[in-house]
Amino acid sequence: METAQKYLNSHSKNRELLQRTIEEFELLISKARERFGLYKEYEKVLIYTALRFCRVRDPKLESEVKSLFESIYGDVFTNLHFTNLHAVYVTPNYLAFVFTFERKLRGTYNEDRVYGYNYHNYVIGKNLTTGKLFLHKVSYLGHILDYEREVISEYPVIAYIVKSDKPIFTALGYSYDIELQGETALKEAIGNTAIGNTPLNRVRVQGDLVLEINPIEQYFIDIREQIRHQYANLFVSEVLDRLANLLSDYGLHVITHNNDVIIRGIYRYAREKRLEIFRVLHNIILKELDLTDIDKDLVVDSNYCGEWTCTLLIVDKEIKFAIAEIESFFGSGIFGDPFIPIVVRVYIRHIPDKYIESIYQYAIKHISEVENVVRHGRHVIQYFGYPRTMFFTYRVLNRDVVFSVNPLHLACTKWIQITHPEHTPFYYQTPRPFAFRIHNVENLLINRENHYRIVKLIKQLGNSR
């Protein structure tokens, strides 16, 4: 860091702080270079950081540092509040910076009192394909202190060399990194699914693309739960139709809306009628709502009936389980209108497996392996496995129903390939099927990045017509 020494002679102000900071960062760079061979780009970034911490700004050096970064990351980095720098961590492949900002509370006599600190955490990494640096902001870096480290200095800036990239992986939202660890990282993550050990079982595959790896069974769990959800909606719709028809047979004018049957008009001032209406509805539904054609074990049972509400349960008597609830209560009237509606609402508690098992078995029986394509940003993910979506018709609740199933997890059974215009293509042939979901590396700088990009676009295109 000899080039930074020239600033000592030209900056008499804060000379002692500058001297100490330069020595600290010089030691940090030499130790990191000795430990794992520090990237040359990181050395220049650290020099720039040391000077900015001491309020020294060199336009030429700043221009050089900006050119090291991809896109607008250089603009974002050089506009950070370096005087608030608290700590610098160097790992084999990353730089991490922690900035602290006081949280102040104005007291009774207008004095500012510090009652805590905000921590802003940034990570710098290197794109191994382009050789350029990127900058991400992460929510937490405290766990970095749980790893083996070497203390370089604790004043004026905390400076540590951390001997593993694992804490940075965790901060960025994954556990493995294929570009740094090779294909064995993905193989290990897939292997974890066989033993059920899948906490944060995520792999950074390419750029900011992260795959969350789960057992293949998760794909089929998604199918079952989506069928359950669609059956629940059908069941509610069926019960509502039967309730509406039942009450209409008694001459009541009703409408259905969402999960409600609405009976318009009960005179809000006729107290004696208002208190009896629930009991009347309760008895009609209890005695006459027949659901045995849906399942022979379904019965309607009384739960509670008071002055302001009544509830009934739809129970499967075989498994002694309440799958739904019917509640009657007063709705909201219109201001000044003497009449208020009564609402009969149907809630689903839980649909047991016995009601959807035949639908689920039919669905998985007709699944075949196909080649799938998913686009995530500019990443194109191709894989051979089970389909992303499926449609099938099944007779349920006495009618033919089209089910649409879109599992939250994707399922790869043979191979996966990922391409991106700025990254090396990735191909992997899997030894065992696995389910996966797509995520991005954690980056809290999205809003600020977009701001700088828009400003840049205005400068380039703002005057063009």
Query: 456 and 447 in contact (C-beta within 8 Å)?
Result: no
For residue 293, the 8-state DSSP code is: T
Q: Say what the alpha-carbon torsion angle 69, 75, 78, 79 is, to the nearest 10 degrees.
A: -150
Residue 448 falls inside a structural domain: no
Domain co-membership, 342 together with 253: yes
pLDDT tens, residue order, the chain (465 aa): 445 556 655 555 667 888 888 889 999 999 999 998 889 999 999 999 999 998 888 899 999 999 999 888 999 999 999 999 999 999 999 999 999 987 766 655 656 676 778 899 999 999 888 889 999 999 999 888 889 999 999 888 999 999 999 999 999 999 999 989 988 899 999 988 876 656 679 999 998 999 999 999 999 999 999 999 999 999 999 999 999 999 999 998 999 999 999 988 777 665 566 667 888 888 899 999 999 999 999 999 988 877 778 899 999 999 999 999 999 888 877 776 777 788 999 999 999 999 999 999 999 999 999 999 999 999 999 999 999 999 999 999 989 999 999 999 999 999 999 999 888 899 999 989 999 999 999 999 888 888 888 888 888 876 655
Domain co-membership, 209 together with 249: no
Q: Which residue has the tokens 């043979």?
A: 414
pLDDT of residue 32: 93
Residue 447 falls inside a structural domain: no
* d(C-alpha 271, C-alpha 386), whole Å: 61
Domain co-membership, 97 together with 122: yes
- Asked whether the bond before 156 is cis by omega within 30 degrees of 0, the reply is yes
Residue 107 falls inside a structural domain: yes
Domain co-membership, 145 together with 201: no
pLDDT of residue 1: 47
What is the domain extent for residue 28? Answer: 2-173
* d(C-alpha 455, C-alpha 339), whole Å: 58
State whether the Cα torsion 142-148-154-160 is positive or negative: negative
pLDDT of residue 378: 92
Residue 462 falls inside a structural domain: no
Alpha carbon separation from 434 to 143, 189, 217, 375 (Å, rounded) = 29, 10, 8, 19
Within a 10 A sphere around the Cβ of 13, how many other Cβ atoms?
9
Q: Using the CB atoms, write b or e for 156-181: b if 16+ within 10 Å.
A: bbbbbbbeebbbbbbbbbbbbbbbbe
Domain co-membership, 35 together with 150: yes
Residue 437 falls inside a structural domain: yes
Domain co-membership, 209 together with 158: no
Query: 175 and 169 in contact (C-beta within 8 Å)?
Result: yes
Domain co-membership, 56 together with 106: yes
pTM for this model (two decimals): 0.84
Q: Which residues is 382 bridged to in the sheet? A: 373, 417
Residue 7 falls inside a structural domain: yes
Q: Say what the alpha-carbon torsion angle 125, 129, 130, 136 is, to the nearest 10 degrees.
A: -20
* d(C-alpha 97, C-alpha 90), whole Å: 9
| The residue count for the chain | 465
Number of structural domains, the chain? 3
Domain co-membership, 156 together with 251: no
Domain co-membership, 230 together with 339: yes
